[in-house]
Chains A and B, each alone.
Chain A
Amino acid sequence: MAGFREARGDLRLDAVTKTFGDFTAVDGIDLQVPRGSFFALLGPSGCGKTTTLRMIAGLEQPTAGRVLIGDTDLTGSRPYERPVNTVFQSYALFPHLTIRDNVAFGPKRRRAADADEKADDALNLVQMAGFAARKPAQLSGGQQQRVALARALVNHPEVLLLDEPLGALDLKLRREMQVELKRIQTEVGLTFIHVTHDQEEAMTMADTVAVMNRGRIEQLGAPEELYDLPRTRFVADFLGQANTGVGTIKDVEGDHLVVNVLGTPVKILKSRSQVHEGDVLFGVRPEKVTVSRTRPEGAGNDVRGVVRDVSFLGVATSYLVDMPSGATWSCYEQNLDVEPLDLRPGDEVWLTWNPGHAFGVPAEEPA
């Protein structure tokens, strides 16, 4: 096919920028996605993740920067010239074609001799083999989603892009599909780039997650890394919940920084803080905090508070505790016992945590 650019290797975005008029959607992103990995682009609405995806697909062209796969520069090429396929959020199945013709569309455009057989193989992979003769309108949302996936997979692209593909599915189906997608990715070994605003989804499925905000990548790394050691306030707030407070670094005790947060001294490991002097945003995850009626011995940091709310979540119990400083902390305890800790709103409790579980990020005002 004239103009088609063969490419092989890691996907690389090189200082990619996209502006619409005077609005900057994507601001100088640098990214490298290893071949064969499952990569998630995570962020809130409007952060630029879908725009980035579209630039990889060729549906948008960068205002500046380059898009490369391996050594091949794809910048400027049209979507039909790239070995990249997309699974769209709305599936975008061709309503006038059968399922088989939908899936065989790509191979036929590439003049594959056995397009229909390839299509059937792909449908098998997504477990939609019996639906080949139907039309998209006859399928449910979940089924259409599988077909959209097959339609992209059948072409064995270097990079497969998924634009919030699970957004329209109900919870149970979504969970099933998350497992399915991961299984398929492992089986076919293609590079998957998954765009989502659901942090749970990103963390479940991806090998590497990039958190985007306002056109920039705030942090990139394995899900555990992002969760347990966020580098910015945004990442700390966006992934899961955190008990945070702005404080000033007062002292250094061995490996720890001593921070004064609203009157209470707390410790953070130097290696787990991005800031070593001045103001810092202190944070600790709710599940790392223990609630008890009595003050525990030598646990590390501890604070006293009053229970405001208790929610039984089946697997765990969530507590909201009011602090003397005015802040409200959230604590999450697994229900290891049949009759868990019996606390009620108004009870006085001690909250403790291991200072090694706390983190410190720059305390800038969220933009």
Chain B
Amino acid sequence: MSALAQVAGDPTLDPPAAAPEVKRRSWTAYVLMLPGVLWLCVFFLLPLVQLASVSLQSRYPGFPGYYYRDLNFSNYASALTDYAPHFARSFLYAGLATFLAFAVAYPLAYAMAFKAGRWRNFMMICVIAPFFTSFILRTFAWSQILADEGWVAGVLNFLHLLPNGHIINTPIAVVAGLTYNFLPFMVLPIYASLERADPRVIEAGGDLYANGFTTFRTVTLPISMPGVLAGTLLTFIPAAGDFVNMELLGPQRGKMIGNVINDQFLAVPGGYPVAAALSFTLMAAILVLVFLYVRRFGTEDLV
């Protein structure tokens, strides 16, 4: 998003490094950073290390819940073979949800940035406000909205769009829930990107003979790319690991990887190593996907 900030920057009159924001090296900086960095190390890095260690542990046979330190890579092997379909399913649903969220969010962000005028702040509040109700309550409300007795199912059935007769407890409902829950994470970055753009650049597109759609494709969309990038990542990553939507809206079989991890840690005795292996694999897979994605669509920096 700061890629755009660079476009609009002033040329400084005096040469380089006259950057008054950056003071001389000082121990003050270390003092300021220390508590936060320490906290992150202890409560983020260290746990990840521990998780890695757990993923290589082995169970004491016959004593579920007790593990010993080991270098048991078979946890990974069994994790991947047993649960590959769950991974695939998670990425598929998350991907679909991300795409749908993009399709829904973009017009909204566009309207907010260019057409809203005075209503802009109001619309922003409207986007964020629903997310002040609890995540669980919202998702549960969807299970009510999509219930068999509800009007949505009724309309869809009337149009013969539902092969099984119901929409709740199907993957469709899960994707719908995922799309809904992460919508603001898609709207806000795109809005921020568009809002920073000079509307005259887009007018220039029209002035140079591009019609509406072409202007969008060749001018508006590229300008908003940093925002789109940030939005898709902020949507896809949590969606891939989610299990609540699946739990409340999805079928009994064919769960996502998040459900498996959750179960293995909290429900299934002796499941720690496998669950840890799955968690790590998930994180690695996401990092790889993110890396490739950013490489392909890249931007200066995301944060």
Contacts and interface: CB of A to CB of B under 8 A. Distances in A.
Interface of A: 20-21, 23, 25, 45-46, 48-51, 54, 59, 164, 197
Nearest to B18: A51
19 contacts: A20-B15, A20-B16, A20-B17, A21-B16, A23-B15, A23-B16, A25-B14, A25-B15, A45-B13, A45-B14, A46-B13, A46-B15, A49-B14, A50-B13, A50-B18, A51-B14, A51-B18, A54-B18, A197-B13
Interface in B1-32: 13-18, 20
A46 B16 contact: no
Interface residues of B, number: 7
Given A20-B15, A54-B18, A197-B13, 13 more contacts: A20-B16, A20-B17, A21-B16, A21-B17, A23-B15, A25-B15, A45-B13, A46-B13, A48-B14, A49-B14, A50-B13, A50-B14, A164-B13
A164 B13 CA distance: 11
Nearest to A59: B20
Contacts of B17: 20-21
Contacts of A59: 20
A359 to B, nearest CB: 30
A25 B15 CA distance: 7
A24 to B, nearest CB: 10
A46 B20 contact: no
A218 B102 CA distance: 60
Contacts of B16: 20-21, 23
Contacts of B14: 25, 45-46, 48-51
Interface in B84-138: none
A46 B20 CA distance: 16
A197 B20 CA distance: 21
A197 B14 CA distance: 12
A243 B89 CA distance: 79
A45 B11 CA distance: 10
A18 to B, nearest CB: 10
Contacts of A23: 15-16
Contacts of B20: 59
A304 B22 CA distance: 60
Closest 3 CB pairs of A and B: A20-B17, A50-B14, A45-B13
Contacts of A20: 15-18
Contacts of A164: 13
B13 to A, nearest CB: 5
A333 to B, nearest CB: 36
A46 B18 CA distance: 11
Contacts of B18: 20, 50-51, 54
Contacts of A21: 16-17
B112 to A, nearest CB: 25
A45 B14 CA distance: 6
A128 B13 CA distance: 30
Contacts of B15: 20, 23, 25, 46
Nearest to A60: B18
Nearest to B14: A50
Nearest to A54: B18
Residue among B14, B17, B18 with max Cβ neighbours from chain A (10 Å): B14
Interface in B39-57: none
B235 to A, nearest CB: 36
B11 to A, nearest CB: 8
B46 to A, nearest CB: 38
A273 to B, nearest CB: 34
B290 to A, nearest CB: 35
A50 B14 CA distance: 7
A141 to B, nearest CB: 16
A45 B13 CA distance: 5
Nearest to A52: B14
A59 B15 CA distance: 15
A211 B18 CA distance: 21
A25 B18 CA distance: 10
Contacts of B13: 45-46, 50, 164, 197
Contacts of A54: 18
B18 to A, nearest CB: 7
A122 B287 CA distance: 60
Nearest to B11: A45
Nearest to A24: B15
Contacts of A48: 14
Contacts of A49: 14
A50 B16 CA distance: 12
A48 B13 CA distance: 10
B9 to A, nearest CB: 14
Nearest to A48: B14
A20 to B, nearest CB: 4
B229 to A, nearest CB: 33
Nearest to A21: B17
A59 B24 CA distance: 11
Nearest to B24: A61
Contacts of A45: 13-14
Contacts of A197: 13
A300 to B, nearest CB: 42
A2 B81 CA distance: 71
Contacts of A25: 14-15
Nearest to A53: B14
A167 to B, nearest CB: 9
Interface centre among B13, B16, B18, by most chain A C-beta atoms within 10 angstroms, is B13
B236 to A, nearest CB: 40
A51 B18 CA distance: 8
Contacts of A51: 14, 18
A20 B18 CA distance: 9
Nearest to B19: A20
A345 to B, nearest CB: 37
A164 B16 CA distance: 19
A214 to B, nearest CB: 10
Contacts of A46: 13-15
A50 B13 CA distance: 9
A23 B15 CA distance: 9
A157 B17 CA distance: 28
A240 to B, nearest CB: 22
